[in-house]
Amino acid sequence: MSLLFAEKGCKVYYFDISEYNMKAAEKMVKDVNKETRVFRQHSYQQLCEEIYSENHPRIIIFSIPHGNPGDECVKALRPYMTKGDIILDCSNEFYGNTERRQADLAKDGIFYVGCGVSGGYQSARAGPSMSPGGDPQALEIIMPLLRRVAAKDRDGKPCTSPIGPGGSGHYVKMIHNGIEQGMMSVISEVWYILTKGLQLNYEEAAGVFEKWNETPELYNTFLIYIAVDINRTKDEKGRYVLGRIQD
């Protein structure tokens, strides 16, 4: 994600408590010749000092596991942050934790924005769909940045919009994940009925999904679309991979 922001014209200062992650990021930066836009920092204090400006607040972006790591990052950053600064949490955080941190940091005038991020690991470079939620003042500041890096729809519009107050951004992401998981479960059950009940082979099952993806109800549905590809995928020996996957 650091490279995505850099490629969209931002200067990025990054820090991770894992030396392994830091070295991996450093190598990626060098591999794409972004050393003049992405800068490694060696502590939370150095990070906050480097991005300080009298003209605009700090914007610190989390791309970390949900739960305790977020609390630890907030605890480590807080002594070096000032009133008006913004933490943009792009993890898959539980919205209740987001609202708890928002209330706590508000005592120091620090904004905490919970932002759902969708699109899989590929979106870290190609641009994700982003659903930010939090204080309107903070959202107004970060929206131009998010519109710059977010994925674009077929009409070229950024796939991001301010969702609302509190933990609404992470709440929307939670609902999104629930719908997606439910749809995948239904697709799996349908596939089982097609192949085990009706005894269709993988190519025939792919044809059924392909036809459904052209109907008005399921037109151009991504999960149906990839179900077609999965049924038709073969390994290097020409064998259908679905027949060899144990789980």
The residue type found at 64 is I
Catalytic residue among 180, 203, 204, 214: 180
Residue 75 designated active-site: no
DSSP line for 5-52 = HHHTT--EEE--S-HHHHHHHHHHHHHTT-TTTEEE-SSHHHHHHHT-
Question: Cα separation of 80 and 70, whole Å?
Answer: 16
Residue 189 designated active-site: no
214: which residues sit within 8 A by CB, 6+ positions away? none
Q: What residues are labeled active site?
A: 173, 180
